[in-house]
Structure 1
Amino acid sequence: MRRPPVSLRALLPLVLAGFAVATLGYSHWRFLDDAGKQAQSGAMAEMARQLDQLQAQLEHLARKDEPSRIREVLAATGADPALTTALLAGPDGTIRAAHRQAWVGRDMAGILADRPPVRGLSESGITRTGTNIHGAYPVILDRAPDDLTPTGIGELHLIRSLERPLATARAAAWHQTAHLSLFLLVVVAGLALVLHRQVGQRMNRLTAAADHFAGGDTSARAALAGRDELATISRAFDAMAERVASTHAALDAERERAQVTLHSIGDAVITTDAEGRVEYLNPVAENLTGWSVGEAIDRELDEVFPIFNEFTGEPADNPVRRCLASGTIVGLANHTALQSRDGRVIAIEDSAAPIRDEQGRVMGAVMVFHDVSEKRALTQQLSWQASHDPLTGLVNRREFERRLGALLEDARATGRHHALLFLDLDQFKVVNDTAGHAAGDELLRQLPRALREHLRSQDLLARLGGDEFALLLQDADLAAASRVAEKIRAAVEEYRFHWQGHPFQVGASIGVALVEPDSCDVTDIMSAADVAAYTAKDLGRNRVHVWQHHDDAVRRREGEMHILTVLSEALDRDLFRLESQPIRHFQENGLKRHEEVLVRLIHPTSGELLTPDRFIPAAERYGVMPSLDRWVIRHAFAALAAPLRASRDASGQPTWLFNINLSGASLGDGELLAWIREQTREHDLPPAGVCFEITETAAVANLLETRHFIHELRRDGFRFALDDFGSGLSSFAYLKDLEVDWLKIDGHFIRDLLTDPVDRALVSAINQVGRVMGLRTIAEAAEREEQITALAGIGVDAVQGFGVATPRRLEESLPPAG
């Protein structure tokens, strides 16, 4: 460090001190020179004496052949602190003994490179080298047999240090000159002490404080008291140091907070310089990139942070470069992924922002990013689930209708024609009922794979729900669509599904509708194909039907679709009315009143009262019957509970009985049994006052469910009637498997009873079988008195029909509440 020039105030004491020091120095040198010569002379004399003494002693031991004693002597000699070397070498120059055992056996030349010559048997060689005196002396180690002639002469070497004698000489010199220079030294020392205390010591404190502060010790202070120049400089320096230390502490605290923050946040952070080279990574960034801070520093960001589009695989633009170029915040493009150093591919989202100095100049960039792999995978999964059927992996109704809408827009824009195929599987319910729902699900999974070989890559197959599928054919006119539909139908028919060793065959009723420039909307196109498919089913199943504007079958199906809309609104608004029709018994059986509960639909717009034949077929076809059955049961139980309780006889049994119809679809509802029991408890209904009617066809189609359902509710006290008996092909075969109380003979046999002997015989046979099985019979559709008389003659228990009584509103036929 450059020192300031000496001040004029210090110049005179320095000159005086210099003169005194020069005088004392010259005097002291003279005394030292004389004392040194005396010390050297004395040391050489002592060396000679010691050599003489050792020669005699070593030769004596050599004649006695005591090498160990020789080594002991030299070792003891080496204990003299003034001696630095003591050794005895043989004639061949090999060291035989020394004060350092490690030298024994070594070549003397390697130890004593500058040894003095040995002049003769009685002469010693003593020389001075620096601060050492080196003495060498011959020693007779071997003699002839006459003991007079020496045959082996060795060399004894001693090296004595002059440092202690010279030190003693210097001390004497100081002592000799002390009195001479005492006055000058006292004066100079006094002056030096005064200058040191007033200037030197304080300047040293100030200089030391400055040096420490420059070295990084921000706590260093001079703290000089007084009012002189040095004190003023000290106060200015201390004030400056305080401000710098305060600023430094604040910066350290800010830096520490920034480091802690960057290490603690969950996002990855990378900072770069203005050239895009990495300066810092936080732990999260280290983990995601696979680079440590030490490895990444000064590397190009593209090397540490390689990113690409996860769909195309093309490298993505680095946001930091764009940020540095534009000086603005830049975000990553969508679907960006990071290729980690260890090979991982990580979906990320990030943004880069410029780092500016106080003048606003861009000095680097900071990039913040985070791992969105799970989020992106979940989004993709949710997107897939929202547009696909989980069972088959095909697109679902929502996505299919979206694609259909796109094709409709294309048809309107380009004039091209497309086609929609609606597939409804035939006999699928047989698979479900026979082999179980697991088999049905597996069939639904396998069947699309069998159909794909007949489709083009641009065709779209979807599952709309249940056993319904749909197919979009791009650029297909009616003829092409019909050909594809026929291939699909044939493929379904030929497909054999095997489950647990059993083969199953299904068919497909397919409706075809065109997507044309003048098509109304997606709903109309879907409705047209749906109507065409159900028309195909009505015409015999396993066939293709093309939607045409003037097709009678289509118009009939469209009428059903209209009724379906009316049904849905009626269920929402309770637009149904319950009626009851009396049943006449020919013999007294304890029942005072027996009626069948019927349902009518009030048209939402016209108010027309629709009979069941107007809406029940549509309700059955489109799966509305379970909801309708529940509506009837709930409202009938509410109306009948109190009158039935009031009609109980002495034994507690109701003397009134009301029949309520149940559809086949409801028999397959696993929750209906529990729901009926819940309604019974809620309304406190006597179960013996209700008889559920089940059609023979529905009972046979759901035989296992029907048997369980009847068995459970009969245990609760409900009664059952088998409706439309005789309409099926196996009526008598299944009758013994069902625990029913009544047989209702199908009205088809009653209408021609008087003119057709076959019908009369069948009615008689049914009645006879019922009696044998302990069942009561009711003849339906008795419209004339002659029919009623004939039925009484046959022996049926009861009759029902317009010839007995017409239906009336249920609430009007019941006693008023309370």
Structure 2
Amino acid sequence: MFSNLLHASRSSIQLKLFLSLTAIVALSLTAILASQVYLVQDYFVRQAEANLRSSNYLLSRVLADPLFEKDLSLLQARLQEVQTKLPLCNFQLKDDIGTVVYKVGEVRAHSDTEFDPNSRDGCYNTIIPVVHENRLLGTVRMGVRTDDIAQARESLIQHSAFFALFWFAVFMLPFFVQIRRLVNPLGDLSRAAQEIANGNLDYPTPEPVRGNDEISRLITSFQGMAQALVSNRNTQAASLAALNNEKSTLDALLATMPVGVIFADRSHIRYCNNAFRQLCLLGPDEDLVGMKNDTMLLRLGQIAAEADSFLKTLAEILETRKLIEPKYIALKDGRYLRLISNIVIAPESSGYLGRFWLFEDVTEERRTLHMAELRAEHDALTLLYNRQRYDQDLPRLIAQAERDGSRLALLLFDLDNFKPINDLHGHAAGDIVLKKIAETLTLQLRRNEVLYRIGGDEFALLLVNASNDEIALLAERIVQTVRSLTFDFNGATAKVGCSLGVARFPHDAITLQVLLQLADRAMYEAKLRGKNNWVMHHDTTRH
């Protein structure tokens, strides 16, 4: 029961006020009662001590004469009279030589130092000398009862306690009524506040009390606050509905986009659309939302063709605080993804919200671009580098040779007896000849040899850092290879040859134009020498 009361006192302000006031009033009345009892008892004690002193004096005078005259009968009579008039516990009279003349009850050996009405035996023991004309005739030891004082004190305590309880009840009853009048609205207010705190904004608020005191104003303010909360809730609900509608629209748009989209804050993935799941071959149960950023990046690294290079690229992106140039990622399955990323900043607070990532499958785009690049730099028929690539490489290699002191050889050759094949068997036959020669020579190329088709039946070959002997061997190999090929067109056998001219940089020429002229002149010289051979500039030997 006490624990229940203690729990209630902790939760009810009404009970707290009542118990606090009860304690204060009870302590006050107890203090008043104790003070009253103390004062009355002190009065009784002083009165008893005064009476006792007077009795001691009279007793000494009454007993002095018969004791002086040795009149035992008179002494006996006066002792009996004293015993009837005084509330004695014990009494003993000794003469001057210590002989016990009269004794009633057991006398203590020692007297009490002070008058104590609360003594355990209810008796105050004292010693009275019997003196006659300054002569000690004897000694009286007696104990005087103090029960009457203790009884009077108990009676006073009982009456005072009854009086205190009566006035306590008279005082507490109206105050308790007032407490209930004040606290009950607070209880209603507390319950309403608890319901509102739990989300029940439609809970009825307490009715305002009459008056203009603090409680009335508090309830009025609470009602205004509750109405404001309801209004805010309705506004937020409308805003949330609009936001959800916009979010649904945005999700639908992002879901239909062929581009993979990811949004991540500082630590975790917050959004991922279906296109990204498909691009990265995620399983149906594999959810990126809520995944740590590092885990997501490692997951992407598993499908990259070069994981280390990919993770390094991602690290560089994460250190950038602006829109990056598109990055291209090769995947293990042969696809290519284009990656674009940028940070997202809140427009109002300029705070960092996160980073978005866009992934787009550009495999077909890369393949188309690669084919376009091949067509731009390669001959469509022979798949050799074309004239455009030749015009780019030749000045670049000459400039490089000038910088590092290396050597460059230019070999120009065209086909002999090629026009009759076109005339007799058609251009398709001529295309077969060109493709076969290109395929055969390509298989023989070495690391520092690059072959070009620069015209109809004209070819060029660039050779870097080769000696004269190596150049001669290459020229001879080309001439012999072309000469050895035989073609069959509908039963008719055809053969071609080639005339090849060589010019060297910087041995023969130190400019591009001169190098071209010398190589072309050497090729023309080879034709004059009977075709199917090669000529190096300044070399007049027939090969």
Q: Please indicate the TM-score interval, normalised by the length of the shorter structure.
A: 0.5 to 0.7
Q: Does 1:336 align with 2:317?
A: no
**Which residue of 478, 483, 501 corresponds with 1:488?**
478
Is 1:263–1:283's contact at 8 Å kept on the other side of the alignment?
A: no
Distance 1:504 1:211 in 2: 99
Alignment match, 1:513: 503
**Corresponding residue for residue 537 of structure 1:** 527
Residue 362 of structure 2 is aligned to residue 372 of structure 1? yes
Q: Is the 8 A contact 1:417 1:516 kept in 2?
A: yes
Change (3 A) 1:282 1:344: farther
Do structure 1's residue 408 and structure 2's residue 398 form an aligned pair? yes
Q: Are 1:250 and 2:250 matched, yes or no?
A: no
Aligned partner of residue 452 in structure 2, secondary structure: strand
- Counterpart of 1:366 in structure 2: which amino acid? F
Taking the aligned partners of 1:393 and 1:254, their CA distance within structure 2 comes to 58
Structure 1 regions of 5+ residues with no counterpart? Answer: 12-193, 214-218, 552-818
Q: CA deviation at 1:527?
A: 3.5
> Residues of 2 paired with 1:425 and 1:460: CA distance?
18
Identify the residue that residue 649 of structure 1 maps to in structure 2. Answer: none
Deviation at 1:362, TM superposition (A): 4.8
Partner of residue 289, structure 1: 280
2:247, 2:489 → 1: CA distance? 67
**Deviation at residue 542 of structure 1 after TM alignment:** 2.0
Contact 1:320–1:352, Cα closer than 8 Å, also in 2: no
Preserved CA contact (<8 Å) 2:449 2:461: yes
Post-superposition shift, 1:417?
Answer: 2.3
- Contact residue 449 and residue 464 of structure 2 kept, 8 A: yes
The one of 297, 302, 306 equivalent to 1:302 is 297
Offset from partner CA, 1:398-457 (integer Å, 9 cap, x none):
112222222212321233322111111011122222222222112111112222454322
Aligned-pair CA distance for 1:392: 0.8
Distance 1:455 1:516 in 2: 23
**Alignment match, 1:271:** 263
Distance (Å, rounded) in 1 between the aligned partners of 2:345 and 2:280: 22
Instruction: Name the structure, 1 or 2, with higher relative contact order (CA <8 Å, separation 6+).
Output: 2
Q: 1:501 to 1:5 in 2, by over 3 A?
A: farther
| In 1: Cα distance, 2:334 partner to 2:206 partner | 65
1:42-81 aligned at under 5 Å gives the runs none
The 1:509–1:304 alpha-carbon spacing in structure 2 relative to 1, beyond 3 Å, is same
Distance 1:445-1:309 versus aligned 2 partners, 3 A rule: farther
User: Structure 2 vs 1, CA of residues 222 and 389 (structure 1 numbering), >3 Å: closer, same or farther?
Assistant: farther
SS of the residue 2:310 aligns to: coil
State whether residues 321 and 343 of structure 2, in contact with CA within 8 Å, keep that contact through their aligned partners in structure 1: yes
CA distance in structure 1 between the partners assigned to 2:361 and 2:443 by the alignment: 41
Larger Rg: 2
Per the alignment, in what secondary structure is the counterpart of residue 466 of structure 2? coil
Structure 2 counterpart of 1:316: 310
Question: What is the alpha-carbon distance in structure 2 between the residues aligned to residue 530 and residue 274 of structure 1?
Answer: 66
For 2:227 and 2:409, locate their aligned partners in 1 and report how far apart those are by CA, in whole Å: 93
Change (3 A) 1:323 1:418: closer
Inter-CA distance 391–256: structure 2 relative to 1 (3 Å threshold): same
Deviates more, 1:532-541 or 1:480-489: 532-541
Q: Is the Cα contact below 8 Å between 2:337 and 2:359 reproduced in 1?
A: no
Normalized per residue, the structure richer in helix is: 2
How many Å separate the matches in 1 of 2:280 and 2:447?
Answer: 40
Q: Cα gap change, 1:522/1:537 in structure 2, threshold over 3 Å: closer, same or farther? A: same
8 Å Cα contact 2:500-2:523 kept in structure 1: yes
Match of 1:613 in 2: none
CA shift, 1:472, in A, is: 1.1
**Structure 2 SS opposite 1:295:** coil
With over 3 angstroms needed to count, the CA separation of the structure-2 counterparts of 1:510 and 1:517, relative to structure 1, is closer
CA distance 1:536–1:426, change in 2 (3 Å): same
| 2:452 pairs with 1:462 | yes
Q: In the alignment, residue 242 of structure 1 is paired with which amino acid?
A: S
SS of residue in 1 equivalent to 2:446: coil
Within-5 A mapping of 1:24-103: none
Equivalents in 1 of 2:475, 2:417: separation in Å?
19
Matching residue's letter, 1:336: I
CA contact (8 A) 1:489 1:508 kept: yes
Give 1:473 deviation, angstroms: 1.5
User: Which residue in the other structure is 1:502 paired with?
Assistant: 492
Of 369, 385, 388 in structure 1, the residue corresponding to residue 378 of structure 2 is 388
1:280 aligns with 2:271: yes
Change (3 A) 1:537 1:395: same
CA contact (8 A) 2:301 2:311 kept: no
Amino acid at match of 1:346: Y
User: Is the 2:385–2:451 contact (alpha carbons within 8 Å) kept by the matching residues of 1?
Assistant: yes
- After superposition, the C-alpha distances for 1:756-802 in whole angstroms (9 at most, x for unaligned) are xxxxxxxxxxxxxxxxxxxxxxxxxxxxxxxxxxxxxxxxxxxxxxx
Matching of residue 260 in structure 1 with residue 254 in structure 2:
no
Query: In the alignment, what sits opposite 1:788?
Result: none
Deviations 1:42-69 (A, max 9, x none): xxxxxxxxxxxxxxxxxxxxxxxxxxxx
Q: Are residues 271 and 453 of structure 1, via their aligned partners in 2, closer, same or farther at CA, if it must alter by over 3 Å?
A: closer
Distance in structure 2 (CA, Å) of the matches to 1:475 and 1:517: 12
Alpha-carbon offset, residue 226 of structure 1: 5.6
Matched, 1:5 2:9: no
Which residue, 232, 252, 263 being the options, matches 2:221?
232
CA distance in 1, matches of 2:278, 2:246: 22
Tell me, which stretches of 5 or more residues in structure 2 are unaligned?
A: 1-7, 19-180, 210-215
Does the C-alpha gap of structure 1 residues 412 and 199 become closer, same or farther in structure 2, counting only changes over 3 Å?
Answer: closer
Structure 1 residue 535: Cα displacement: 3.5
Paired positions, count:
357
| Separation in structure 2 between the aligned mates of residue 499 and residue 361 of structure 1, nearest angstrom | 77
**CA shift for structure 1 position 468:** 0.9
1:508 Cα deviation from its structure 2 partner = 0.5
Structure 2 equivalent of residue 442 of structure 1: 432
Alpha-carbon distance in structure 2 between the residues aligned to 1:548 and 1:248? 94
Please state whether the residue corresponding to 1:315 is helix, strand or coil: helix
Contact 2:326 2:338 in 1 (8 A): no
What is the letter of the counterpart of residue 516 of structure 2?
M
Report the counterpart of residue 655 of structure 1 in structure 2: none
Q: Contact 1:319–1:352 at 8 Å: present in 2 too?
A: no
Structure 1 Cα separation of the partners of residues 249 and 240 of structure 2: 14
Where does 1:547-566 land on structure 2 (aligned, <5 Å)? 547-548=537-538
Identify if the C-alpha distance between structure 1 residues 423 and 262 changes in structure 2 by more than 3 Å, giving closer, same or farther: farther
Q: CA deviation at 1:512?
A: 1.3
Return the alpha-carbon distance in structure 2 between the equivalents of residues 358 and 222 of structure 1.
Answer: 39
Alignment partner for residue 413 of structure 2, among 423, 433, 451?
Answer: 423
1:532 Cα deviation from its structure 2 partner: 2.7
- Asked if the contact 2:487–2:495 (Cα under 8 Å) also holds between the matched residues in 1, the reply is yes
The answer to whether the 8 A contact 1:408-1:519 is kept is no
Distance 1:286 1:309, change over 3 A: closer
**Between 446-455 and 458-467, the greater mean CA deviation after superposition:** 446-455
- Equivalent residues of 1:273, 1:365 under 8 A apart: yes
Post-superposition Cα deviations, 1:80-105, rounded to whole Å, max 9, x if no partner, equal xxxxxxxxxxxxxxxxxxxxxxxxxx
- Separation of aligned partners in 1, 2:445 and 2:286: 58
3-state SS in 2 of match to 1:331: coil
Q: CA-to-partner distance for each residue in 1:264-289, whole Å, 9 max, x for gaps?
A: 243322123423x4332112212212
Is the partner of 1:465 in helix, strand or coil?
A: coil
* 1:423–1:230 Cα change, 3 Å: same
